[in-house]
């Protein structure tokens, strides 16, 4: 019996969605030949709060999304498909969809239209900011649970790493970035690294963060991972 799974994809792909993609490996082991996955990205399009002349409440105003949003959606869907293919799911069993509207409503609508057996969506997490947001507005995942015509799996974001030693934090963050961007030529400066990989809970890098970024870059240069160049008095570190 074929199994149809609808997987919600955000753009850019969040840690929770990345976690959901990894969990697809369990479904692969159980029902790979019969598995068909629909990857759905919903471009958010607000509805009118009050009817304008010639329109009714809920009528969507065209156009309310940009070409950039559409490009980001396609990039996220292609990245998600590539991740699933790495886990053994044939490309012919993966279908990519883009819809416009409210994410929860469109996910439920597509699930009904395609008669899927299972919905998988990522949750943005349980940070203080997210908890406050959920008190003000109903979360996407909660609304899907209320309206879905089939079982729903909500995948939470992995717990954010907390830095023990700042130098190690920056070194591990740079290493992870390079693994995710294999083949790209990347130029780092201490200031950019301090800001790009700022530890959780910090709004802006301070003196300690900038010093730790320098030490991490120097350590990676000594280990041959990065090459150090002096460009007009500014140190730059390149992964060549």
Domain boundary among 123, 155, 187: 155
39 and 19 both lie in a single domain: yes
129 and 176 both lie in a single domain: no
For residue 30, give the H/E element and its range: helix 15-31
Total domains in the fold of the chain? 2
Between residues 51 and 143, which one has the greater pLDDT? 143
- Look at residue 18 and give its three-state secondary structure: helix
57 and 89 both lie in a single domain: yes
114 and 189 both lie in a single domain: no
In a domain, 43, yes or no: yes
Q: What mean pLDDT is reported for the chain?
A: 80
- pTM of the predicted model over 0.75: no
73 and 191 both lie in a single domain: no
Query: Using an 8 Å Cβ cutoff, are 5 and 35 in contact?
Result: yes
pLDDT digit string, tens, across residues 161-211: 555 688 999 998 898 888 877 777 889 999 999 988 888 777 788 889 999
Greatest CA span in the chain, whole angstroms?
A: 68
In a domain, 195, yes or no: yes
CATH code for the domain of 92: 3.40.50.620
201 and 84 both lie in a single domain: no
pLDDT digit string, tens, across residues 228-240: 998 888 889 998 7
For residue 111, give the H/E element and its range: helix 103-114
In a domain, 120, yes or no: yes
CATH code for the domain of 207: 1.10.10
pLDDT digit string, tens, across residues 92-126: 999 999 999 989 999 999 999 999 999 999 876 54
47 and 68 both lie in a single domain: yes
From CA 240, how far away is CA 224, in angstroms rounded? 9
- Domain enclosing residue 172, as ranges: 166-238
For residue 236, give the H/E element and its range: strand 234-238
Per the DSSP assignment, residues forming a β-bridge with 35 are 3
23 and 130 both lie in a single domain: yes
Q: CA gyration radius for the chain?
A: 22
Token pair of 171, please? 């070194």
For residue 211, give the H/E element and its range: helix 207-222
From CA 139, how far away is CA 162, in angstroms rounded? 26
pLDDT digit string, tens, across residues 121-160: 987 654 444 443 443 334 788 889 899 999 998 887 665 5
150 and 192 both lie in a single domain: no
């Amino acid at each position: 019996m074929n199994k149809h799974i609808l997987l919600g994809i955000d753009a850019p792909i969040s840690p929770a969605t990345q976690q959901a993609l990894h969990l697809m490996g369990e479904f692969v082991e159980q029902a790979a030949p019969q598995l068909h996955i629909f990857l759905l990205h919903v471009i958010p399009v607000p509805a009118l709060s009050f009817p304008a002349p010639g329109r009714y409440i809920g009528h969507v105003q065209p156009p309310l999304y940009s070409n950039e949003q559409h490009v980001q959606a396609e990039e996220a869907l292609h990245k998600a498909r590539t991740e699933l293919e790495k886990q053994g799911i044939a490309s012919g069993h993966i279908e990519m969809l883009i819809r416009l509207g409210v994410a929860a409503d469109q996910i439920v609508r597509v699930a009904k239209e395609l008669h899927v057996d299972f919905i998988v969506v990522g949750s943005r997490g349980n940070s203080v900011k997210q908890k406050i947001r959920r008190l003000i507005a109903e979360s996407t995942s909660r609304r899907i649970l209320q309206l879905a015509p089939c079982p729903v799996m909500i995948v939470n974001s992995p717990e954010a790493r907390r830095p023990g030693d700042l130098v190690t934090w920056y070194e591990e963050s740079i290493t992870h970035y390079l693994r995710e961007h294999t083949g790209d030529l990347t130029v780092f400066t201490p200031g950019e690294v301090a800001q790009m990989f700022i530890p959780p809970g910090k709004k802006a890098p301070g003196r300690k963060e900038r010093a730790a970024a320098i030490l991490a870059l120097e350590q990676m240069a000594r280990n041959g991972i990065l090459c150090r160049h002096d460009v007009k008095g500014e140190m730059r570190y390149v992964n060549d």
